[in-house]
Every structure is written in structure tokens, then in C-alpha cells.
Structure 1
Amino acid sequence: MNKKISLVIIIIVILSILTIKYTQRRSRFTFGNSYAQVIKKGTKEEKIIALTFDDGPHPDFTPKILDILKEYDVKATFFILGQHGQMYPDILKRQVEEGHEIGNHTFSHINIKKTPEEKIREEFYKTQEVIYSITNTEPRLFRPPYGIYNDLAINLANENNCSIVLWTPHQDSKDWGNPEVEEIIDTTVSKIENGDIILFHDYIYDEKSNTIEALEYIIPELKNRGYKFVTMSELIDLSVKQVSH
């Protein structure tokens, strides 16, 4: 009798562990559920990677980046600041027209953990409205500045059917500080893995962006290695399919 009870307990424990693990895996990728996803990486089963750019659009740097992406037929995801979108609507329109995806990065790059709730909501919704009014598309991706988020950010994403998108930890190019071209290349290329979300910035406070020159090497190099560049929504969709199989 005791052996039977012990066996039942063991089975229950195993099933509970498997259920938790499955739920955790799906929670990273399931769109439109009752919780916000916090995504740092896509599926490892396919050679896909996502280029993401923060803080733009920039009047000089962003068009040059778009030219490079167009040259190599690569689609990317741009997490814009609402204030910059207002200033450069034509660039925002071009991004969408050329097949890139737009995400919300707040209006003025606030630190969510140091900002009152009312201000956070204002920053989020102002940016949603800027993007929609210019592109006629409603953003479903939200990247909190500095990668910092809390329960309020998750609730805000839930309320708007958005996914919270961060980046793969080893793929932070730190290009906001405008390091040397070789450093940006090495950070990205030397550590690349399937499903990586790479963090770049198309807006920096400098006269020249070394990211632009670095991309001229990074994109063809990774293509030669067999990687496919996808938008964040494509990465999420492919990851969902892998999890559900």
C-alpha cells in the first residue's frame, strides 16, 4: 500500500514539474494571452536572428541604416521614441513602407522604476498614438528603456496586447556609447547563436555612428553563415510553432 502511495506521489510531482516547464516555455512566446511576454531570445531550432534598433528615428543615422538593410534585403525591428517619431515622420513612414516593424520605446526614454504610474502611462500611450497616426499600424511590441520593467509595465503591455521585448544578454552591442567598429562587430559576430535578439541603436548623441559601418560587415557575414534575419513578430511566430510541435 505504501509503495502504491509513493508511486502516485512521484507521478504527481513529475507531472507538476513538466507542466510548469511547459507553461514557462509557452509564456515566452504565446501572443495575445492573459499575460505579457518578456522575450529575450527566440527558438534555437532555426538559424534565425532579429536585428533591433532603439531610440530613433535619427535624421542622419536611421536613413543610412535603412539603406544598408535594403541593400541586403534584411528586415529589422525599430523601437522608437515617440518624440523622435513626431520629429521625423517621413523616416517612420519609410521604415514601415520597406517592411520593417515598429515598437514602442516610450516617448522620452524614461526609467520605468523611477517614474510615477500616470507618467508611464502617458509616455506609453503618446508613443502608441504617434506610431499609429503616422503609419496606420498599431504597435504590439514594447521595449522599456534600459530593459527595466516592473508589474506596471507588464500590466500595461497586457492591456494593449503587447509583448515586452528585451534582447539576448550576450547581444548587447553597447553601441550607444559609440565604441570602435571592430568592437561592435566582435560583440555581435563572435557570440551569435540561433534565436538571438541583437540590440543596436540608430540614435546616438555623436557626430558619427560606428554602428553603420559595423552593419556593413555584420549582415553579409551572418548571411554567409546561413542566418536568416527576421522581424520580432516573425521570430515570435516561428518560436511559437517550435514550442507547439
Structure 2
Amino acid sequence: MFSIKKSLSLIVAALASIQVVSAEYKNYEECIKPGDFALTFDDGPASEYTEMVLDILKKENVKATFFINGKNCMDVANDPEAQRLIKREVDEGHVIASHTYTHPETGITTLTDEQLTSELKTLNDLVFDLTGLKLAFFRPPLGEFNEANKRVIEELGFTANVLWNLDSNDWKKGDNATANYFKYLDKADPSSNSFIALNHDIQKVTATSNLQIMIPIIRDLGYNFVTVDECLGMSAYQNVNSLENKGAAVNATATNTIVPANVTSSTPTSIVRSDDRSNLKSGAETLSYSLLSLIILAFITLFNFN
């Protein structure tokens, strides 16, 4: 029979060999459950329209997801009003996620690994100082990314590359955001379809008309409004394990100036665009344990103790 010392050594060895597979950074363009509808807003906060969007969402009792920038329409690090808007988003039960710090004009495929790291880390550090939350969801500006980008993003702990399957095109002059919603919804059914809808809380048409028109209609069609973490069944934050704890208290105020990444051009490789949906599949965090080995070793230890 094994000695107690030897049995314990085997258990320690088995525990050391347990393989924990962290959440793989994957692309998502729809919810995992039919009938769910996730409203998402990019590019904010904006001094006028973000407030209006939040007022509408509050009135309609809808929770949404905001993919924010640190220095796009507002300089969040140095603007108390921008900080207040982000805190309001969190306080009212919305989810916040990363859209890079400066929203590079040409997207992220022209950035070096170091520049992209700076874009993401600078925003995450700023948001953490403001809210105590560490962002886990990301949406690339322009919806474009390449494999090098994905490696950097995953290394920084992000778990979801959140794209979309309904585009309001609210930013596009001459386009009709409401008509664009109907174009997608007319072909869909809540019993078999779900949506992640792309909007911008910096656009007047979204803040003053489209949102107020579409929310009651989407409800009447039988869809259930969700935040992206509920949509995907994943935590929106790297330091919050449960969906129930997503509304963490805002606990700090940024006081230091944040230096944005310097963006220079480099050659993009294998760009994936938001409308390339051939391989966009939902995934979930997995844990792999060597359970059989632990059970066997536990029995060995038990019998040696007796």
C-alpha cells in the first residue's frame, strides 16, 4: 500500500496537472437564445445625445450595452461630464464595453501590436478608475480586425469580439435608420431569431426618433430586450464572475490625464469585416479537469489514512 506521504504527493501532482482552459476570445454576432434583442451603442459618450438615449432607455425600462471610447466625442479622462455619463450607464444597469480609446480613423488593422495594446489598456485602466470594472467585451471600430489583432485582444483578457447582425446605419446620411430596422425584422421571427443591433449614441436620429419608434415595435413583435452579457451568457467584466453582479458600484473618479496611443500605419493582414459571417459562432468559457485522476487518488489517500 502507498504511504500517506506518497499519496499526498500524487494528489499534488494531479492538481498541478489540471488544465484550465480560459475563455477563448471569439466572434459573436447574435444572441444564444432566440427571441433576445440586444441594443448596442457605439462611439460615445457624447455630450448631448448619450443623455437623451439614456433617458429613453430609462423611460422604456430597457437595458442596453454601450461600446465606449475614451477620447472620441469627449475626453473622458479630463471631462467630468463624460465621466458622469459613463457612471450613469453603469448605475442604471447598462453594460459598458470597449471600442478602443481613440477610435482610430482607419480602424485597428493598421495598428501595431503595441499601439493596439495601448488603445485597449488605456481605456480599461480609465474605466476601472471610474467604475471599478475591467471590461471583457470589445467591438472593433469599423467592425474590422485581423488575426494579429485578435491575439493582442485575447492576451489582454477580453473574451468576446461583439459584432452585430442588425445595422441601423444611423450614421449614414441619406439612409433611414427606422427603415433599416424593418428590413431585418420583416424577415425574422423571435421563435428562431435573435439580434445584436448596432446603433450610435452620438447620432441625432437615434437619440431623437428611431429609438423611441423601434422599442415598442420590437416588444410587440415578441422580442426580449437584453444586455450583451445576457445575450451571450457571459460576464461583461474580467473582474466580475457573475451576471448578477454586473451592476457594481461606481467607486472612483479619474484625476490623471490619460495619454492615448499614437496611431501609425502598418500593413493589415487577413482583415475580417463585420459582414463576413461564415465563421462567427457562439462559444462559452470551458474548464477541463482531470476528475477521474482526482477521484482515484482521493480513494487511495482515504484508504491509507484508515
TM-score range with shorter-chain normalisation? Answer: 0.7 to 0.9
Kindly indicate whether residue 95 of structure 2 is the aligned counterpart of residue 96 of structure 1.
no
Instruction: Kindly indicate whether the alpha-carbon contact (under 8 Å) linking 1:185 and 1:214 is maintained by their aligned counterparts in 2.
Output: no
How far apart in 2 are the matches of 1:129 and 1:200? 25
Q: Cα deviation per residue 1:86-116 (whole Å; 9 max; x = unaligned)?
A: 3310000000000000010001112111122
Aligned to 1:61: 49
Structure of greater Rg: 2
Equivalent of residue 24 in structure 2, options 32, 35, 42:
35
Comparing 98-107 and 189-198, the one that deviates more? 189-198
Q: Are the counterparts in 2 of residues 184 and 211 from structure 1 also a CA contact under 8 Å? A: no
Q: Which moved more, 1:79-88 or 1:220-229?
A: 79-88
Q: SS in structure 2 opposite 1:155?
A: helix
Deviation at 1:46, TM superposition (A): 2.9
SS at the partner of 1:120? Answer: helix
TM-score by length of 2: 0.62
1:184 positional shift = 4.5
Aligned residue number for residue 195 of structure 2 = 196
Question: Which has the higher relative contact order, 1 or 2, with Cα contacts under 8 A spaced 6 or more apart?
Answer: 2
| Residue in structure 2 matching 1:128, options 124, 128, 131 | 124
Deviates further, 78-87 or 68-77 = 78-87
Measure how far apart 1:185 and its partner are: 4.3
Matches for 1:1-245 after TM superposition, within 5 Å: 33=22, 35-43=24-32, 45-83=33-71, 84=74, 85-86=76-77, 87=79, 88-110=82-104, 111-162=107-158, 163-168=160-165, 171-178=166-173, 179-180=175-176, 182-187=178-183, 189-192=185-188, 194-204=193-203, 209-212=204-207, 213-237=209-233
What letter corresponds to residue 33 of structure 1 in structure 2?
S
Counterpart residue identity of residue 153, structure 2: A
How far residue 192 of structure 1 moved from its aligned partner, in angstroms, is 4.7
Partners of 2:23 and 2:283 lie apart in 1 by: 16
Two-structure CA RMSD over aligned residues (Å): 2.1
% same residue: 33
**For the structure 1 residues 186 and 225, does the alpha-carbon distance in structure 2 shift closer, same or farther, using more than 3 Å as the test?**
closer
CA shift for structure 1 position 159: 1.9
Matched to 1:173, the amino acid is: S
In structure 2, the CA distance between the partners of 1:230 and 1:108, relative to structure 1 (3 Å rule), is same
Contact 1:41 1:167 in 2 (8 A): yes
So what's the TM-score if we normalise by structure 1? 0.76
Q: Which runs of 5+ in 2 are unaligned?
A: 1-20, 235-281, 285-306
Aligned to 2:14: none
- Give the number of the structure whose residues are more often helix, by fraction: 1
Counterpart CA distance in 1 for 2:206 and 2:188 is 17
- Alpha carbons of 1:55 and 1:225: their partners in 2 closer, same or farther (altered >3 Å)? same
Amino acid at match of 2:43: D
- Where do 5+ consecutive residues of structure 1 fail to align? 1-31
Distance 2:28 2:283 in 1: 12
